[in-house]
Amino acid sequence: MHELSLLEGLVQSLEAEARDRGFSRIRRIRLEVGRLSSVEVEALRFAFEPATEGTLAEGAELEILEVPAKGTCRDCGAEVEVEARFDFCPACGTGFVAVTGGTELRVKDLDVE
């Protein structure tokens, strides 16, 4: 499960940020997770408690904001939502949709003390 490793890396980054900015506890973390990010949201939720145990994020609330995948059709130019990479365009039914969003995994914001 690579979600545990992702969260452990995130917590290490947040602890470094806490030293730089002077906060001592994280109460809430809001993450944006793109539909095409290759991250399983439920696995992220499951791994959150073990990844934060003994850290400044222990006991924090995890809020996950799922981001839809978007793209631009190379044939008709339509801006569309897609379910998977290499989907056909739902507007014209042909072509190749270049993904423009939905691959992210990032911290949207934190609630800290």
Q: What is the CATH number of the domain that holds 36?
A: 3.30.2320.50
Q: What is the pLDDT of residue 94?
A: 86
The answer as to whether 32 is a domain residue is yes
CA separation, residue 90 to residues 6, 26, 49, 97, 102 (Å): 33, 42, 39, 9, 17
Q: Which helix (H) or strand (E) holds 11?
A: helix 2-21
The answer as to whether 47 is a domain residue is yes
Q: What is the pLDDT of residue 1?
A: 59
Q: How many domains does the structure of the chain reveal? A: 1
The answer as to whether 85 is a domain residue is no
The answer as to whether 35 is a domain residue is yes
The CA distance from 68 to 82, in Å, is 8
- The neighbour count for residue 23, using CB atoms within 10 Å, is 16
The answer as to whether 95 is a domain residue is no
The answer as to whether 76 is a domain residue is no
Flag whether the pTM goes above 0.85. Answer: yes
The answer as to whether 58 is a domain residue is yes
The CA distance from 78 to 64, in Å, is 28
Q: What domain range is 64 assigned to? A: 2-68+102-112
The confidence band for 4, taking pLDDT boundaries of 50, 70 and 90, is very high
Q: For residue 36, how many C-alpha atoms fall within 13 Å in the half-sphere facing its CB?
A: 17
